[in-house]
Amino acid sequence: MTAPAPLPDQIPTVTDADVSDDQQLFADHPRRQYRLRPGWAVRRRARGVFLRTPLPADRVRWTAAFPYLSPLARAELAKAARWRTNHGGKP
């Protein structure tokens, strides 16, 4: 089963500055294969090719990063991470 194609308003705009920033990040970190940006993910492929995919929600990121966790455990992990980001410490 394949996922439905995103609607045009769900696809983030990619600027020249975004592309340049991604190129620099991957050049500085040659072993890195992925980058998460607000609203989308970037995957580096061979020969400087970057694949971009929209991310409709934070849930997608946590599901991809922690597939072995239950949905409830992923939600708790995401909540704790947001709290640390906003408050600079442990919840």
Give pTM, 2 decimals: 0.52
Tell me what the pLDDT averaged over the chain comes to.
75
- In percent, the amount of the chain with pLDDT more than 70 equals 65
Q: How confident is the model at residue 28 (pLDDT cuts 50, 70, 90)?
A: very high
Q: What's the mean pLDDT in 26-50? A: 84
Q: How confident is the model at residue 7 (pLDDT cuts 50, 70, 90)?
A: low
Strands 50-54, 40-44: pairing kind: antiparallel
Distance (Å, whole) CA 43 – CA 32: 9
